[in-house]
Chain A
Amino acid sequence: MGSSDLDRQIEQLRQCEIITENEVKILCQKAREILAEESNVQKIDAPVTICGDIHGQFYDLKELFKVGGECPDTNYLFMGDFVDRGFYSVETFLLLLALKVRYPDRITLIRGNHESRQITQVYGFYDECLRKYGSVNVWRYCCEVFDHLALSAIIDNKIFCVHGGLSPSVNTIDQIRTIDRKVEVPHDGAMCDLLWSDPDDIEGWGLSPRGAGYLFGGDVVQSFLHNNDLNLIARAHQLVMEGYKLLFNDTIVTVWSAPNYCYRCGNVAAILELNDKLESNYKIFEAAVGVDSRGAGVRKRAPDYFL
């Protein structure tokens, strides 16, 4: 696949038009090759803009790029949950993937709990692939890419980024590097916890009400930062009405990048811009307006999972 082919696909996807099944197959193959080389804890140099959950809200992703700058002019880190729930999981994920293949050093994608076969069958991505392509092949290709996504990222050795949170099985960043990540997200264990856990107002650890992962308190965050010589944990995974939320004396932040989540929650979204001195600047943005968020053209009946 030539660079011009890829550019053409990117332009197409930017118009929210899907590429062919065969193009998806090749794109996913190329992406896997690039991702396979990445570490479980992918190193990133500042400046970079950190983004949270997108959940298939394609037009809001476009808003995000307007606010943060187009890729590759701005370096980006997306902390997972690209798919499920929104109407355009396919276009959203394929655009991000195409950008990754085109500008591998300018955009980093890490895995969220929704980048999973089991979860995407329940929360909508599987159905969307089937509907838009008439077969499950695209879903399968994407799941193979999910398996290759890094589990976390570290910016200038100071800011640790992960989709969910911490794990009682993980005390050091090095321990994360030893995980065999190229698998479906397990039901439990370190890899599962990193993608499913949440910070909470407790001491130590608690079981998560989500049924996977843990709850962890400020004391746990404090130890982790100290043991690994870090300043901050950036994560996503939980809806935040104000777009972002700092907890535990600003040692951990939740960044949420899907405005008006599911087209009904009325929240704003945020991105975290880090300059080369690692100074943070939070930018808030709202859902795209003037666009029929249910898609240009025929207004389809909303899928059951949306009612």
Chain B
Amino acid sequence: MRSPKSPTGTFNIGVVRNKHREGITTDSRDWSMVHAGALVLDQKVVTIDGSTLVEDACQILIDNNISSAPVLAQSKSPVSSSIERKKSYIGMFDYGDLITYVLIVLKRSNFSMEGDDVSSLEIKEIVRRAVAGQSVPVRLASDLSRKNPFYSILSETTLLSVVEEFACGTHRGKEITVMRLAQGMLSQSMVVDFLFKNVHNFSDLESLMNQTLRELGLGHNSVLSVNADSPVLDALTLMSKFGVSSLAVVGQMGVLLGNISITDVKYVIKSKNSLLWNTCFQFVGFVRSRQGIDDGQDRYPVFDVKLDTTLYQTVAKLIATKAHRLWVTDDRNRASGVVSLTDVLRAIAKNAGLKVSESRRRDSLAKGPWA
């Protein structure tokens, strides 16, 4: 069941846009009419007060095992404090913001490698020193990175609208990866997970899912990568510069050896030294080893698929591994492309008849260092 093409240009959040008739088409066979609120149930939302120090905000992410959290501003009441003003959301804070913040701070303070034994400092210490002992509240650091801009929708917003926004919307010039509703947060993963779990109810999706990445024209893009021997600091700088949450770590001949994700930063925070100056390959080993102890089981160093993998298998792997992207490798294990949750949602949006612009992928603008 295909929805009619949406009108180009205008867009209203929270308004049912397409001319589906109620009753016939709002049954479970039409995913596009499902309300966003239905996907966000029983959620415990962890929020961070805007006055929290950056390093403490990071600890909140770690302790709750989440990668982003909304930041609340403390509204100052002009009258007596017996009137409790509702806190307002001012943005999102995630590991990407932390990295960007640290990089800005390092650059501003012009850390030199000699003299200071910087490689042995914890991130916290770097941050503290760099601001000359002043404490920086997280509200100044939130939304620094270009991912996860704060974006709000109503719980009645249709899933079709949600998919369209995740696939190609921008907010304040940034890609949208999470949305806020009254009930909580709705992420790309949650949408993909819902559609995947219910795919057998949605025949249009089912046939889409049976196609391969090659057939769908996915995974053919340039890969943002970092050389295995370069320092971790380079990887973080690259991720920050291009606003991506993960980089391929490649060895000789472009063979994919591992990847570094923004969320790996939490292991950097936890470790005794800052690891920023270790090589990317060492870092991959470090992160994998820590994950293996935390999980009681070890992971494969790379999460990849082939061009002939179906969208169904690709999505299954994204969900199973909780990854936000999978590398596409050729028969010599070189990274030849990437498939992200955004790409999956774009394919779904296109299949539903929505107009999806082609010029979006920031990744496609950058070439790997070995290209």
Interface residues of A (CB under 8 A from B): 85, 113-114, 118-119, 121-124, 187, 196, 198, 206-212, 237-240, 261-262, 264-265, 304-307
B183 at the interface (CB under 8 A from A): no
Q: Would you call B320 and A208 a contact (CB within 8 A)? A: yes
Residues of B within 8 A of A240 (CB): 296
Residues of A within 8 A of B62 (CB): none
Residues of A within 8 A of B299 (CB): 209-211
Interface centre among A122, A209, A238 (most CB of B within 10 A): A122
Nearest CB of chain A from residue B90's CB, rounded to whole Å: 34
Please give me the residue from chain A that is nearest to B275 by CB atom: A304
B282 at the interface (CB under 8 A from A): yes
Q: Would you call B293 and A264 a contact (CB within 8 A)? A: yes
Give the docked Cα–Cα distance between A30 and B200 (Å): 55
Q: Would you call B293 and A261 a contact (CB within 8 A)? A: yes
Q: Would you call A124 and B285 a contact (CB within 8 A)? A: yes
Q: A118-B301, A123-B289, A239-B297 in contact; A211/B321 too (CB < 8 A)?
A: yes
B258 at the interface (CB under 8 A from A): yes
Q: How many residues of B contact A (CB 8 A)?
A: 32
Give the docked Cα–Cα distance between A239 and B297 (Å): 6
Nearest CB of chain A from residue B370's CB, rounded to whole Å: 19
Residues of A within 8 A of B322 (CB): 209
- Supply 24 A–B pairs (Cβ within 8 Å), ascending by A: A85-B289, A119-B298, A121-B257, A122-B284, A123-B292, A123-B298, A187-B333, A206-B320, A207-B316, A207-B320, A207-B321, A208-B320, A209-B320, A210-B298, A210-B300, A211-B300, A239-B296, A239-B297, A265-B296, A304-B282, A304-B285, A304-B286, A305-B286, A305-B289
Give the docked Cα–Cα distance between A209 and B298 (Å): 10
Residues of A within 8 A of B293 (CB): 261-262, 264-265
In chain B, positions 7-58 with a C-beta closer than 8 Å to chain A are none
B242 at the interface (CB under 8 A from A): no
Q: Would you call B285 and A123 a contact (CB within 8 A)? A: yes
B324 at the interface (CB under 8 A from A): no
Residues of B within 8 A of A114 (CB): 298
For B303, give its contact among A196, A211, A239 (CB under 8 Å): A211
Closest 8 CB pairs between A and B? A239-B296, A207-B320, A211-B300, A305-B289, A212-B300, A211-B303, A122-B285, A122-B301
Interface centre among B288, B296, B316, B333 (most CB of A within 10 A): B296
Residues of A within 8 A of B266 (CB): none
Residues of A within 8 A of B271 (CB): 307
Interface residues of B (CB under 8 A from A): 257-258, 271-272, 275, 278, 282, 284-286, 288-289, 292-293, 296-304, 313, 316-317, 319-323, 333
Please give me the residue from chain A that is nearest to B301 by CB atom: A122
For A238, give its contact among B272, B288, B296 (CB under 8 Å): B296
Interface centre among B278, B288, B320 (most CB of A within 10 A): B320
Q: A123-B289, A209-B322, A307-B271 in contact; A198/B297 too (CB < 8 A)?
A: yes
Nearest CB of chain A from residue B278's CB, rounded to whole Å: 7
Residues of B within 8 A of A264 (CB): 293
Nearest CB of chain A from residue B125's CB, rounded to whole Å: 16
Chain A interface mostly:
loop
Give the docked Cα–Cα distance between A208 and B316 (Å): 9
Residues of B within 8 A of A239 (CB): 296-297
Give the docked Cα–Cα distance between A306 and B293 (Å): 10
Please give me the residue from chain A that is nearest to B296 by CB atom: A239
Residues of A within 8 A of B302 (CB): 211
Q: Would you call A119 and B301 a contact (CB within 8 A)? A: yes
Give the docked Cα–Cα distance between A85 and B290 (Å): 10
Give the docked Cα–Cα distance between A305 and B283 (Å): 8
Nearest CB of chain A from residue B252's CB, rounded to whole Å: 13
Please give me the residue from chain B that is nearest to A306 by CB atom: B289
Please give me the residue from chain A that is nearest to B255 by CB atom: A118
Q: Would you call A210 and B289 a contact (CB within 8 A)? A: no
Nearest CB of chain B from residue A128's CB, rounded to whole Å: 12
Nearest CB of chain A from residue B54's CB, rounded to whole Å: 23
Q: Would you call B321 and A209 a contact (CB within 8 A)? A: yes
Residues of B within 8 A of A206 (CB): 320
Nearest CB of chain A from residue B19's CB, rounded to whole Å: 38
Give the docked Cα–Cα distance between A130 and B297 (Å): 25
For B304, give its contact among A187, A208, A238, A305 (CB under 8 Å): A187
Give the docked Cα–Cα distance between A141 and B320 (Å): 35
Please give me the residue from chain A that is nearest to B267 by CB atom: A307
Give the docked Cα–Cα distance between A123 and B317 (Å): 23
Give the docked Cα–Cα distance between A121 and B257 (Å): 10
Give the docked Cα–Cα distance between A119 and B258 (Å): 11
Give the docked Cα–Cα distance between A211 and B288 (Å): 12
Give the docked Cα–Cα distance between A304 and B287 (Å): 10
Nearest CB of chain A from residue B192's CB, rounded to whole Å: 14
Give the docked Cα–Cα distance between A122 and B286 (Å): 8
Nearest CB of chain A from residue B41's CB, rounded to whole Å: 22
Residues of B within 8 A of A307 (CB): 271-272, 286
Q: Would you call B285 and A305 a contact (CB within 8 A)? A: yes
Nearest CB of chain A from residue B193's CB, rounded to whole Å: 13
Give the docked Cα–Cα distance between A125 and B293 (Å): 17
Please give me the residue from chain A that is nearest to B302 by CB atom: A211
Give the docked Cα–Cα distance between A262 and B297 (Å): 12
Give the docked Cα–Cα distance between A241 and B335 (Å): 38
Please give me the residue from chain B that is nearest to A192 by CB atom: B300
Give the docked Cα–Cα distance between A262 and B293 (Å): 8
Give the docked Cα–Cα distance between A87 and B322 (Å): 31
Give the docked Cα–Cα distance between A121 and B258 (Å): 11
Give the docked Cα–Cα distance between A305 and B299 (Å): 14
Nearest CB of chain A from residue B98's CB, rounded to whole Å: 20
Given contacts A198-B297, A207-B320, list 20 more A-B pairs with CB under 8 A.
A85-B289, A118-B301, A121-B285, A122-B285, A123-B285, A123-B298, A124-B285, A209-B322, A210-B299, A211-B300, A211-B303, A211-B317, A211-B321, A212-B300, A239-B296, A265-B293, A265-B296, A304-B275, A305-B286, A306-B289
